[in-house]
Structure 1
Amino acid sequence: MKIIGLSNIRYELDNLKEIPHILFVGARGTGKTTLAMYLAQTKHKNIHFLTGNTLKKQDMLATFVTLEKNDIILIDEIHRLRPEVEELLYQPMELFKLPIQDKSGNHLLLDLEKFSLIGTTTKPSKLSKPLLSRFQLTLHIPHYNIRELARIVRTKYNISQREALLVASNTITPREALNLAFRVVQLGGNIQKNLEFIGYKFGLSKTERYYLKIVHKVGKISKRSLASALQIDEDELDYIEDKLIHKGLVEITNRGRSLTIKGMLKIKEMLK
């Protein structure tokens, strides 16, 4: 498996003598799950895939008792675990022992095979301190540059470097770049015209341009009101704001949201 970009993270993972409990933090679509798969592949380990928001206590128990030595457990969206499932992780992560109750009601500790737990999250602030403290390594996934995103696009689609850069300039994550490339390639013909046809202009989607216009006209506005005006949920708004902040168009402070100088120039460009 080839990973494009993230050279510092790849170097650290490649040089691990043993795999600790790892928390990957980053925006959606940045490759957190891909990094976990890369680690499992390069270290020749089995990996068990679980999803935080759907994971039940019995599923977690079943995973623990079927572990083989040095397996990896991957929990995607670990910040969305139910409290009773999260609490079940504490002793296994720290002691490799699973608390159980026998038929007589006696509390016992079942020895587990040594394993590594990898969690992925877009919202580390929503993880409890007891869970956070059990991760020996926390890696924050940085934003990709446009050339890296273009290289990722070209690994899957047979388009020119210029066309790949056009697609990449409208995105900030590999998943977003690949999804956008799929749309414009499926339409056939000119990539630039296809981007405009599906609503991308000035390096922004229609929703992102509307966001800038609202903030420019209204000024202070609550997150809920802004999400309502854009007809998106607050998680989607978080992603858009992360993208606009990364592009240097918006800043968010205690006083609210405002356009940067670059954002004001973008508005002028859009109004021409």
Structure 2
Amino acid sequence: MTDHEGLVSAYASDAELDAEATVRPKRLAEFIAQHRVRDQLDLLLRGAMGRGTPPDHILLSGPPGLGKTTLANIVAAELGAGIRVTSGPAIERSGDLAAILTSLGEGDVLFIDEIHRIAKPAEELLYSAMEDFRVDVIVGKGPGATAIPLDVEPFTLVGATTRSGLLTGPMRDRFGFVAHLDFYTPAELDVLIQRSARILRVPVTEDGSAEIAGRSRGTPRIANRLLRRVRDFAEVRADGTVTLETARAALHVYDVDELGLDRLDKAVLTALVDSFRGGPVGLSTLAVAVGEQPDTVEEVCEPFLVRAGLLARTPRGRVATEAAWRHLGRTPPNGTFGAAMPSTPDLFSGGSQEV
């Protein structure tokens, strides 16, 4: 490769990264779906700006990929404030958090992702910072230790969690606004995909975007990822336009079926049905059968499989429902769990059965 070709390649790569970054909405008005949360946030921010004070601390909960990080950046943009981004696992000591807090400017937004995983000493330090905008830094050890109070500029904490049940009561109570993000409907994802396609300059037909939306598991992050992969397929093996046929062919190559199940999802269901006769089977045993860690199966696969009505959690273990047997093309035996459920579950109306 010549120097000129290398420069062109680097420029194209940077341009693509810039294009991907622009897919995320920058303002509340651009944020698709989550209408109730969006309206509540709008009231919160407008009220605070009218008073000239930072808004209450904000807690966003919900499954991964629904827009918690995007909303945190939107909050900062709407306020015209700076934003500092970190995560719970990255804050191991209270001193780490104290350094972050004391570096904030007045009115800044501090975003802590996976806030339920923050270390206990840091969490206790955060209490006084959230309520009194003050932190006490301990200097020295033993009887000679001294607490030095440090003032913190008024700020807004935006915490995000995928497991709100792991938050302690004192932490949850210090948030003035708590919101839960729900999965998107296929129609909402269709609008999102068409918006992303315009930004990325990807020609897409209405049925092509609808096909991708229907396989995106109600999650914007997955929808945008599938759009990029279908774009690659369309540019390499078709005429560059994402049509219904192109989308189906591309998603078949990437092992994403009509419900949005990927290779691991289907491996879990196949192991349940073929190796364990539908269950019940323990999580650890199921994870070994598919060659994955139990945490991966529990946190990555199960939430969607349960919501789709394909898997149930019971006191005795995981069980494949009748819908799972039929989705795999198997005939369910008599007495299969969920036999009264419809064979085509509604993934977004909340009608699927969970145990």
Amino acid at match of 1:245: V
Match status 1:192 vs 2:248 = yes
Rg larger for? 2
1:15 corresponds to which of 23, 40, 43: 43
Gaps (5+ residues) in structure 1? none
**Deviation at 1:6?**
0.6
Label 1:234 to 1:32 Cα distance change in 2 as closer, same or farther (>3 A).
farther
Residue number in structure 2 paired with 1:240: 301
Is residue 2:211 matched to residue 1:166? yes
Q: Matches of 1:270 and 1:142 in 2, distance apart?
A: 33
Q: Which has the higher contact order (CA 8 A, sep 6+)?
A: 1
What does residue 52 of structure 1 align with? 88
Tell me whether 1:64 sits opposite 2:109 in the alignment.
Answer: no
Q: 1:229 to 1:114 in 2, by over 3 A?
A: same
State which of 167, 170, 195 in structure 2 corresponds to 1:155. 195
Residues 186, 269 of structure 1: alpha-carbon distance in 2 compared, 3 angstrom cutoff: farther
| Runs of at least 5 residues in structure 2 that lack an aligned partner in the other structure | 1-25, 49-54, 239-245, 333-355
- Across the aligned residues of Structure 1 and Structure 2, the Cα RMSD in angstroms comes to 2.3
TM-score normalised per structure 1: 0.90
In structure 2, the residue matched to 1:178 is: 224
SS of match in other structure, 2:104:
coil
CA distance in 1, matches of 2:330, 2:280: 23
Give the match's secondary structure for 1:199. coil
Counterpart Cα distance in 1 of 2:289 and 2:206: 37
Residue among 245, 265, 268 paired with 2:326? 265
Question: Which stretch of structure 1 is more off in the superposition, 26-35 or 201-210?
Answer: 201-210
Correspondence 1:1-272 to 2 at 5 A: 1=26, 2-16=30-44, 17-18=47-48, 19-56=55-92, 57-101=94-138, 105-157=145-197, 158=202, 159-172=204-217, 173-188=219-234, 189=238, 190-203=246-259, 204-217=261-274, 218=276, 219-237=279-297, 238-268=299-329
Matched residue type, 2:192: I
**Equivalent-residue separation in structure 2 for 1:73 and 1:268 (angstroms):** 49
> Share of identical aligned residues, percent?
29
TM-score (norm 2): 0.70
Tell me by how many angstroms 1:14 deviates.
Answer: 0.3
Aligned residues: 271
Secondary structure of 2:255's counterpart equals coil
Residues 43 and 234 (structure 1), Cα distance of their counterparts in 2 relative to 1, 3 Å cut? farther
Residue by residue over 1:200-247, the C-alpha shift from the partner in whole angstroms, topping out at 9 and shown as x without a partner, is 233222222222222234111111222222233334322221112222
